[in-house]
Structure 1
Amino acid sequence: MTLQTELGTRYGLSSGDVELFYGAGLAYTFRAPQLFAMADGEVTPGHYPSGLTTVMAELIGSSEMRGEQAGRHVFEALLGVGYSVTDAVELRAAYQFPVGGRRDIDYSTILSAIYHF
């Protein structure tokens, strides 16, 4: 299980706006059944072994500290899964949605294919 956090600020160079952003993510990784084996039947070697699966949840927020929208707070959540097909190819899918009344996004689905080289 992995916990990841972030905290930082953004500054508008021309507007002078200041935004505080923050987030936390929790991931659980486990070895699921391998979908593809090498020709000799061995497990694929590499940094990301085939079958490695990660389930993740994130909560992301931002607060306007200075500017036209000072006092505005926005929160989003993301639920996702990643699966290592081979030692170099990973597939990921996630669902992102707003939390609370104010929002910068609508609901979204994120699909990605990653090649590690």
Structure 2
Amino acid sequence: MSKKNILDTAVNFIESNLHNDIGLRDVANHAGYSYFHMTRVFTAVLGESVGSYINKRRLYEASRSLIYSKQKIIDIAIDSGFESSEAFSRAFKNIFHVSPTVYRKNGLNI
């Protein structure tokens, strides 16, 4: 299987399971490759780890929830796989450079 096919399989699995507790081992098992091979392919093609990709995708989904729902920020954080609003806020600020509260208030949609 080519790197593109491996990556397509991995990304499709991630997208289908964003709201589940998944990690690199789950992605590798689903694609039928070893932990180490999946790490090499994913990083070589996308330039980031599987964990980083999953985290960013969850944060982008959370950003949509902040704009398009009235759900509490703590609920969005928990739904996004974070154990606290503080951890969610730190990760969110790292990607979007503003807090979830400011993001929601300003109606940003990056």
Q: Which one has the bigger strand percentage?
A: 1
Query: TM > 0.5 between the two?
Result: no
Larger radius of gyration: 1
Q: TM-score range by the shorter chain?
A: under 0.3
Q: Which one has the bigger helix percentage?
A: 2
TM-score normalised by L of structure 1: 0.21
TM-score normalised by L of structure 2: 0.22
